[in-house]
Chain A
Amino acid sequence: MAKHINVALIGNPNTGKTSVFNRLTGLNQKVGNYPGITVEKKQGTCKFGRGCKVHVLDLPGTYSLNASSVDENVVIELLLNKNDKDFPDVAVVVADIENLKRNLLLFTQIKDLGIPVILAINMADRMKRKAIYLDVPKLEEKLNTKIALISSRKNLGFDYLKELIENYNQLSTKPSLNASSISPEYFDRLRKAFPNQELYKLWLVITQDVNFGKLDRNELKGVASFQTESVSNLKRLQQKETVARYQFINETLKETLHIDTANAKDLRSRLDRVLTHKVWGYVIFFAILLLIFQAIFDWSSYPMDFIDSTFASLSEWAKTSLPVGDFTNLIAEGIIPGLGGIVIFIPQIAFLFLFISILEETGYMSRVVFLMDRIMRRFGLSGKSVVPLVAGTACAIPAIMATRNIENWKERLITILVTPFTTCSARLPVYLIIISLVIPDTRVLGIFSLQGLTLMFMYILGFGAAIFSAYILDKILKIRSKSFFVVEMPNYKLPLPKNVLITVVEKTKAFVFGAGKIILAISIILWVLASYGPGDFNNAEEIIQNQYASQNLSEEEIAMHVDSYKLEHSYIGHVGHAIEPAVRPLGYDWKIGIAIVSSFAAREVFVGTLATIYSVGSEDEQTIKSRMAAEINPILGGPLFNFASGVSLLLFYAFAMQCMSTLAIVKKETNSWKWPMWQLFVMSAIAYVVALAAYQFLK
């Protein structure tokens, strides 16, 4: 009979847990969300010999089972709930050989829950170079477990790890530490109150500030509220537990682990001396940022031009080779340009996630946190806000989720509120197309492209807006919260290409399919609204014939007038004209107005919308850019996208809160509609005023 095994991968952050997961499952993985919360749920399968199928769950990294964030809640909630369908048959605790002591804390806690545990000691390939000696059989005996020495980098030890997983029922489930030794008297009372439960499980439920939901309602009813001790006493006991665990670990490792400290002067200290230097540290950080922005603009322009022209010819091909009719028009004028508007910025997103995942994988991100904390604190932020602000250049959604490790609530809230100001990749297509239309393609000082510099300025503007509003918020928000900050400084590592690749592919995929659905739906709706209309719309030919009867126009010119008349009198034309008074002072016509309104769903819709609106009725094969360049301002004449209206649009997109998904995530993370609504109204008001001022000044 085929065996089915549930495996949970658990470990401290920075132990290479994800690389172990990638090694075990390859590309057979699925990233989703835990129901109701926005914690990423990574699971995958791998087949062992003899028909044994293994389901692997990669749990969020945590230092202990004492949860202090939503991510960590997921771990403890799963491990305490035997009825969960993902409840592990066996837990694999991934530890880093160089941080074994700290990593074992979590191991002993899980062991005490009575779950079969395998200890996978990662980065074992470094042992020789670092002169580390480990007595594996003795440690196995002391910890009452099986140990696999592995290296995900060199792909070592995985066969043995798999073998251990397959034979998990031979593992001992004896706890490593007797929990009641912390306070025999208290645990005695606990045992009497709940005679049928495991003590350590009870203890965890009582001390955690977690809403256990299902678990609490069923078997552990009443446990969480069982308190015969004061809160501070419980805290003291928790501290005592941690100290007791470390004592046990220290004694265990004293006999089994030997590190030759003569080799301590290593890569870490040499790199740290430069990378966290008070001058060079900043120089290097800004040089890296500069490289990222220059790369995104320069390198990704080639695949982007290619995608743009491919979709233009695809549209043309659909028009000529499919039978004439409404359906063909929908495909050629609605769906294909709409899809083109999203596919076009895959290259940039891929580049951004490539850089961000390399910075995180190498351990450099922690140094940036260390370097920036003091400066960021001046603006009411934390050094840890740098990660969301940098990640925000890819997408505000994962960036806002990345604020979870900021311990101080006020600093975290401010970070959440200002992150949407950073230039996310959804703004890029808008910026790129407008910059290429209104900023001359010249070079400054012979090397820097003026367009590239403009783009960089837009990024600086976004960061500036974020920092400045953080400063204001720090002054006006009256929240008292305990200031506390701790960050691990991991060892430097070369990033594993496979890990980076999987991150880039996963993130890009999630982004394209997530935003893609909205964009496609909006494109279709827009096409319908632009292709049909009330009253005069249906008599367009007749009206135009009469209007131009005396002018003797060619058939082509008449057809052009008919098309533009139709668009103006379509449903979307009516909507557009209704909002035109609001956008005209900013230098936009009603078509741009429609694009702005539709991009409140997601910014990147802007380009797709204009592509759809402009392509309805146009006959030739054209790229999005050439269509936009050809638009004439209906009132003033001259190109619609000129310097003044272009700058105004750039500024509007820099400040406006136009992303429903971000609003939804802010609601989830702050647990209130107050903050997302604040973002929506304040940011959009700033955007309108700044764009208005810019246009009126420049026109």
Chain B
Amino acid sequence: MVVTIASLKKGQRGIIKEFSVEVVPLKLLEMGCLPGNEVCLVQTAPFNDPLYLNINGSHLAIRRETASKIEIELI
């Protein structure tokens, strides 16, 4: 099974793998969501969506749909 940001449990961490531009918008990159960075799921909103992430010190919220497209490696 492919492990993505969406499969993180609260408090779990992972390292973002390479991804293609078609899936992840540039804006997300600019806000710190880069391959090689560490991502931690801080909290999920009610109904489990969106996800509140800490990516290498940047605090962002993205929707589960986008999160499920960003592959990670669990640590």
| Majority secondary structure of chain B interface residues (helix, strand, loop or mixed) | mixed
Instruction: Give CA–CA (A243, B32) in the complex, Å.
Output: 9
**Interface membership of B61, Cβ < 8 A:** yes
Instruction: Give CA–CA (A68, B50) in the complex, Å.
Output: 22
Instruction: Give CA–CA (A491, B62) in the complex, Å.
Output: 17
Contact of B60 among A66, A239, A242, A488 (CB under 8 A): A488
Report if A101-B61 is in contact (Cβ < 8 Å); known contacts: A276-B43, A373-B45, A484-B25.
Answer: no
| A268 CB contacts on chain B under 8 angstroms | 59
The answer to whether A485 and B63 have CB atoms under 8 Å apart is yes
| Majority secondary structure of chain A interface residues (helix, strand, loop or mixed) | helix
| B46 CB contacts on chain A under 8 angstroms | 278, 281-282, 371, 374
The answer to whether B50 and A374 have CB atoms under 8 Å apart is yes
Instruction: Give CA–CA (A165, B32) in the complex, Å.
Output: 30
The answer to whether A486 and B60 have CB atoms under 8 Å apart is yes
Using a CB-CB cutoff of 8 Å, which residues 488-506 of chain A contact chain B? Answer: 488-491
The answer to whether A370 and B50 have CB atoms under 8 Å apart is yes
The answer to whether B59 and A490 have CB atoms under 8 Å apart is yes
Using a CB-CB cutoff of 8 Å, which residues 206-257 of chain A contact chain B? Answer: 232, 235-236, 238-239, 242-243, 246
Interface size counted on chain B using CB atoms at 8 A? 30
The answer to whether B29 and A489 have CB atoms under 8 Å apart is no
The answer to whether B32 and A102 have CB atoms under 8 Å apart is yes
**Interface membership of A369, Cβ < 8 A:** yes
**Interface membership of A64, Cβ < 8 A:** yes
Instruction: Give CA–CA (A375, B45) in the complex, Å.
Output: 10
| B59 CB contacts on chain A under 8 angstroms | 268, 488-491
| A235 CB contacts on chain B under 8 angstroms | 21, 26
**Interface membership of A388, Cβ < 8 A:** no
The answer to whether A64 and B34 have CB atoms under 8 Å apart is no
The answer to whether B49 and A374 have CB atoms under 8 Å apart is yes
CB distance from B39 to the nearest CB of A (A): 13
CB distance from B46 to the nearest CB of A (A): 4
Instruction: Give CA–CA (A221, B66) in the complex, Å.
Output: 38
Find the A residue at minimum CB distance from B25: A484
Find the A residue at minimum CB distance from B51: A370
Interface size class of A (residues with CB under 8 A): 35 or more
The answer to whether A276 and B31 have CB atoms under 8 Å apart is no
Report if A374-B21 is in contact (Cβ < 8 Å); known contacts: A276-B52, A369-B61.
Answer: no
| A236 CB contacts on chain B under 8 angstroms | 21
Find the A residue at minimum CB distance from B34: A246
CB distance from A253 to the nearest CB of B (A): 10
**Interface membership of A471, Cβ < 8 A:** no
CB distance from A13 to the nearest CB of B (A): 10
**Interface membership of B3, Cβ < 8 A:** no
- Scan A460-503; emit 1 where CB is below 8 A from any B CB, else 0: 00000000000000000000000111111111000000000000
The answer to whether B50 and A383 have CB atoms under 8 Å apart is yes
The answer to whether B31 and A63 have CB atoms under 8 Å apart is yes
Contact of A276 among B26, B45, B63 (CB under 8 A): B45
Find the B residue at minimum CB distance from A276: B43
Instruction: Give CA–CA (A235, B24) in the complex, Å.
Output: 11
| B25 CB contacts on chain A under 8 angstroms | 407, 484, 486
Instruction: Give CA–CA (A373, B46) in the complex, Å.
Output: 9
- Interface of A toward B, CB cutoff 8 Å: 63-64, 66, 68, 98-99, 101-102, 105, 232, 235-236, 238-239, 242-243, 246, 268-269, 272-273, 276, 278, 281-282, 366, 369-371, 373-375, 383, 407, 483-491
New A-B pairs, 8, CB < 8 Å, besides A273-B43, A486-B60: A64-B27, A101-B32, A101-B57, A239-B26, A486-B28, A488-B58, A488-B60, A489-B61
